[in-house]
Structure 1
Amino acid sequence: MTSLMKPGAPDRRRVRTHGGTAGPRGGGRTAPHPRRKSSRAPWLYLAPALVVLGGLLAYPIYQLGLISLFHYTQAQVSGGEPTTFEGFGNYARLFGDEQFWQVLLATVVFAAACVLCTLTVGCALAVLLTRVRAVPRLALMLAALGAWATPAITGSTVWLLLFDADFGPVNRLLGLGDHAWTYGRFSAFFLVLLEVVWCSFPFVMVTVYAGIRAVPSEVLEAASLDGASQWRIWRSVLAPMLRPILVVVTIQSVIWDFKVFTQIYVMTGGGGIAGQNLVLNVYAYQQAFASSQYSLGAAIGVVMLLILLAVTLVYLRLLRRQGEEL
């Protein structure tokens, strides 16, 4: 029988694709979908870290929530009285306390001011690092990293000495005499804010500087040739390109500044006169350890956790709506 195929024409029954699939008659294996394999691979690499973080975070959070549901004081710790289940009774007491709402408002305002000032100073110095020469850049980086590496309690003590009413150089330079910064509510918060920004801006500065260095120089040169000012270049060119990095530093700053404890406790003597400088972390410490109301302190910790989680999720959701890839 003569073949009907043209001379030199390929036999389609034997042609296979590079991925392993068969031709029209389909006799070979089908290659696995590349997207399925790639979607599982990152989770496999992250699995060890997720297991460690789950063990270090999940169990403490579970214990914190559990203690907040019981009546747990020093009597229960010592075994003098049995532990009783109260459900959401500690939360009802907490939300019914007027001081809690005052402290919460002060915490939110103080944390927002710290985050805004930290981002402003850090981003401004990051831009400055791109404008100065190597030696001033190295000096500024070393000074900033020195402030970042300083323990919070050491930095707080140094700032107290600088603003001391009797021996501090700041009052002499400003001609304020024996003005006591820690006696007034707003001046004490302002003093703590300066210390928090001082020890927090290096993280923002180094991170944003690394992001700026990754931006193509041609983009910045084109903006300069078009006559854009430095502020316009930052607002219209750099900020949109650095938005994923700014998201990270903003969320980190919100978490850190909302949980400020050491600076407030050291610089205001445990919350200021009559508790005028209390924030939630110090308030929880006073309730849990000074008053031995461990369950009430745990309830404050749970509320702080939920607030930070809600702020982070809302912020990320707003960015997703703007089409940002995080």
Structure 2
Amino acid sequence: MTALTPVLPETPQGGTPGKGPTTATRKSRRFANGKRGLEPWLYLAPAFIVLIALLGYPIFQLINVSLYDYRQAQVSGKAPLNFVGLENYQKLFADPQFWTVLGNTVVFATACVVFTLLVGSSLAVLATRLRPWVRSMLFVVSLGAWATPAVTGSAVWLFLFEPTLGLVNKTLVAIGLTQFEGYSWTYDKWSAFGLVASEVVWCSFPFVLVTVYAGIQAIPTEVIEAARIDGASMPRIARSIMLPMLRPIVIVVTIQSIIWNFKIFSQIYIMTNGGGIAGQNLVLNVYGYQQAFAASLYGLGSALGVIMTALLMVITLVYLRILKRTGEAL
């Protein structure tokens, strides 16, 4: 019989038989792991430097100014800076108009986001069923609305809804709605907000249209065909297959729309002549402009800017948490 040769345990690299890695080996591995962990940050370093230069310093200055009683006298150097700490924030939180304006902003932004998503998503689904040349015309017209500057779009919208010469009022009167003869859409608070919201939706829905349409086109046709073979109806396919696969895109366009509509300024300022009658159509951006530049209360306006930045950062963090919970890659 052949004698059995004892099998020795495999020698770890850099160690001895039967024992773990040596201290030098462990240090080498930790160094290699640390180097690999540091490598992505080195690639991101240029972007971080640019962000700090373009965003970090302005935000620091915004916070800094919000802590002072900073007016025209201080800007011109005729009076010294007066540090007031959180007094500007206390004034805002104690001002009933601030809470009214914040409520206006939330309601207005929510309505704009909802209708933008509905219009853009509906047209995206419609585009998948149109002939190529009709679909191309739809995209050209939509992108034309998207490319129109906010000031130009606001002026055109105001002309369309002008009380005496506007096409909208003339059309409504022509079909028998005589109560709209000479009707001012900017006089009442909510009709003015509706007018501005319609212009915002008009110039914003193309982004949702293009993005959602691209997401629909990226869905594998084999998955939809398999569902049809299994007997699933189109509404069931849309609810159980298409919507879950489009969820990351819908989340992205929703968050971006919230941020854009929360910061609306030009449309409100132009179409309501600076915020409407007695400030009834003020939103945070216009309110901050009035405080900072019209009233020369730069410290108070900066405090408003800090509050808006904080709110938008909270929205962004909520977006990241939603992505993390749904398992999407960040």
Q: State the TM-score, normalized to the length of structure 1.
A: 0.87
Distance verdict in 2 for CA 1:39–1:248, change over 3 Å: farther
Query: Does structure 1 residue 112 correspond to structure 2 residue 110?
Result: yes
Counterpart CA distance in 2 for 1:47 and 1:275 is: 45
Equivalent position amino acid for 2:291 in 1 = Q
Distance verdict in 2 for CA 1:231–1:308, change over 3 Å: farther
Distance verdict in 2 for CA 1:188–1:56, change over 3 Å: same
Distance verdict in 2 for CA 1:21–1:214, change over 3 Å: farther
Cα deviation, 1:162-190, whole Å, max 9, x if unaligned, reads 11112211112222221111111111100
Stretch deviating more after TM superposition (119-128 or 83-92)? 119-128
Query: Does structure 1 residue 269 correspond to structure 2 residue 273?
Result: yes
Distance verdict in 2 for CA 1:287–1:219, change over 3 Å: same
Alignment match, 2:183: 179
Counterpart CA distance in 1 for 2:248 and 2:11 is: 44
Counterpart CA distance in 2 for 1:122 and 1:172 is: 28
Counterpart CA distance in 1 for 2:55 and 2:200 is: 25
Deviation, 1:43, is 3.2
Alignment match, 2:244: 240
Deviation, 1:230, is 4.0
- After superposition, residues 58-69 of structure 1 pair within 5 angstroms as 58-69=56-67
SS of 2:249 mapped into structure 1: helix
Alignment match, 1:156: 154
Aligned-residue identity in percent: 58
Stretch deviating more after TM superposition (76-85 or 277-286)? 76-85
Stretch deviating more after TM superposition (144-153 or 64-73)? 144-153
SS of 1:277 mapped into structure 2: coil
Alignment match, 1:292: 296
- After superposition, residues 211-230 of structure 1 pair within 5 angstroms as 211-230=215-234
Distance verdict in 2 for CA 1:78–1:117, change over 3 Å: same
Unaligned runs of 5+ in 1: none
Unaligned runs of 5+ in 2: 174-179
Alignment match, 1:304: 308
SS of 1:70 mapped into structure 2: coil
Alignment match, 1:201: 205
Alignment match, 1:190: 194
Cα deviation, 1:55-95, whole Å, max 9, x if unaligned, reads 10001100100000000001111111111000000000111
Counterpart CA distance in 1 for 2:15 and 2:226 is: 52
Counterpart CA distance in 2 for 1:35 and 1:128 is: 51
Alignment match, 1:283: 287
Distance verdict in 2 for CA 1:91–1:174, change over 3 Å: same
Alignment match, 1:257: 261
Number of aligned residue pairs: give it: 318
SS of 2:273 mapped into structure 1: coil
Distance verdict in 2 for CA 1:227–1:179, change over 3 Å: farther
Alignment partner for residue 95 of structure 1, among 93, 96, 100?
93
Cα deviation, 1:168-227, whole Å, max 9, x if unaligned, reads 111122222211111111111001111111111111111122222111111122333445
Alignment partner for residue 137 of structure 1, among 135, 139, 148?
135
Cα deviation, 1:225-250, whole Å, max 9, x if unaligned, reads 44544443332212211222222111
Distance verdict in 2 for CA 1:181–1:323, change over 3 Å: same
Stretch deviating more after TM superposition (166-175 or 280-289)? 166-175
Equivalent position amino acid for 1:218 in 2 = E
Counterpart CA distance in 2 for 1:247 and 1:24 is: 55
Counterpart CA distance in 2 for 1:230 and 1:119 is: 20
CA RMSD of aligned residues (A): 2.9
Stretch deviating more after TM superposition (94-103 or 200-209)? 200-209
Counterpart CA distance in 1 for 2:38 and 2:126 is: 42
